[in-house]
Structure formats: C-alpha cells, structure tokens
Structure 1
Amino acid sequence: MSININSPIPKKNRRQRSRTVDPFIPYLLRRWNEGCQNGSILFIEIQKQGFRGQATMVRNFLHPFRKNLLNLEKDGSQSVSIAFEMPSSQTIAYWILKKPEDRKEEHEKIIEQIKSVLPKLDLTITQARAFAAMIRQQHTDELDSWIKAVEQSSYQIWKNFGMEPKKEAAGV
C-alpha cells in the first residue's frame, strides 16, 4: 500500500470535551471586562461558586486574553482594550516609595486602580509612604508614633515590621 504525500491527512472526529472551567466562563469574562484580570483572584472567586478545578486551569483560560490584550464579550465578539502591561511588583513598589514631588501622574493612576481592586493595599501604601518620608527626612522623633500606628493595623506584616526597631533599641 502506498501513501500519496500530496493527499490530505484524514482527521479523526474527536469529541470536544467540556472543560471544568466552562460553566464559569460567563462569570470570568464579565469580571475580566470589569477590570479584574488577576487569575488568582478570579480562581478564588469561582472556587466560592463551586469550581473544583485548579488555579492553572483559570490561568490557562485567561492566557489568550492577556496575550492578545482583548476584552471578550459573552457573545464572543471582541472589543480591543487599551494595550496595557501590568508593571512588576518591584516597579510598583518603586513608584509607591518615590518622593511626592517625583511621582508621575500616570503611575499614581495605576496605583489608584490597584487600590480599587485590592482596597487593603491602601493602608499598606499609606504606611509605607509615611515610613519612607520619615526615613528620607530623618525624622526619628516620628518613629514611635509610626510604630504605634502600624501596631494598631490589622496587618501582621506591619506589626512585625514595627517590632524590629523596638527589638534593636532594646538590644535583642
């Protein structure tokens, strides 16, 4: 039996399997278009709705949207969004800790968008900026009041951070 290399290869009819993420696609698309494009957050949200898959399934589903920088509607139509690549956390930290007079408006807008999605970061950013200003201006007399403020914070990381100067002062 000879095979003609010019003839098309017959395709097997394969049944399209539904993915675990399929029932949650309308929700994921709606949240994506609302601006929540963080796969981890979306994974947690659909887990609460009964999703039994893994976070990688959500990331794999979202990957083409990030790659193409498109917003997809429920009906499958595409609307191009402004091309925007999320800066690294290191870059965002740099923007947060800059002197107020050196901050750029576009960076502040991105920080505000992040705070609107993750409101807990608002207090963290405020405390970080206060600490940076205190150190930059060498206002060591403000350290005790800053430590008291972070100790009253609900964030353990700030409580731990605030304890370090006390330990150093006590010689621990």
Structure 2
Amino acid sequence: MERFFKYVLPLLISVVAAMEFYQVLMRYVFELPVMGLDELLIYPTLWLYLLGSVNAAREDTQIKANVLDVFLKTEKSRLVVRVIADIMSVTVSCWLTYWAWDYFKYARRVWKESPTLYIPTFWAECSLFIGLTLMTAYSGYYLLKNARRLFSQAPLQPAEPLLQPTKEL
C-alpha cells in the first residue's frame, strides 16, 4: 500500500497543480478562459483529498491534540486514552461511512453528468465512500492494535516525561 500512495499522491497533486497553472495562465495572461477545466479539476482534487486522508489514517499521522498526555504519568493511562479515542474514531467513521454508502448508491442510481463536459460525476462522488471505508478500516486496525497492547500481560514502561527539567549552571 505504501508504494501505491508514494506514487499516486504526488501524481494527483502534480495534475491538480498543472491544471491550475494552465487555467491561470490562459485566463489571466492570454485572457482566454478554458471552459470545463474547473469540472475536470474536481476529479483529481477529490481523490487527492480523500486518498491523502486515507494515507494519514494508514500511517496514523492525523493531526491530534493529545493534551491529556501532558498530565498522564504512565504509559498505561496514555494507552487507555488512546483506546478511547480510537473507539470514538471508529464510531464516527462507521457512521460517516454508512451515510457515504447511501450517497454512493444514490450517485450510482442517478448517474449525474457534469454540465459542460458531460463526464459522469459518479467517478468523483464514489471517492467519498471508498475513502471513508478505508479510513474506517485503518482506524479499526489501530483500535485493535492499541487495545491488544493495553490488555496484554506484558508490563508497560513508565511514560517518558514530555518536558525535561533543565539543569542550572
């Protein structure tokens, strides 16, 4: 999976940047707006946004405000908070994936087309369901991993202090 994200995400961001550059160049330098380019930009942009979110879920590098970690003294207490956060993440992800599934079915049934180029919008709209499904799976994986660590018999190490005391000269 890492190889997939390693190549697809830079490709998508390059496509979006190139299309935007072309749009700006044509519109503001040559004063010739390109009709339909905005419609085309929606597809790689949505896939980039959602696959980037999936990659953050896969790497477990989402932005987190772990404020409680400052006050918790043991690794076990931090792990308990992490498991609770993972449970909430999986719950919300499942709920959003359920709604995305309904939208996916609607998009497939209606099969809308873009107004200028008549491209089926389904290919952009399905990114929401696919992305949320993968994010839910990765959130569940980290929930199981952290719960297994929490309930294992191996003793956990004491937590490292986040702020090290400074030595006075």
Please give the TM-score of this superposition, normalised by the length of structure 2. Answer: 0.27
Using CA pairs under 8 Å that are at least 6 residues apart, name the structure with larger relative contact order, 1 or 2: 2
Q: Which has the higher helix share?
A: 2
Bigger CA radius of gyration: 1
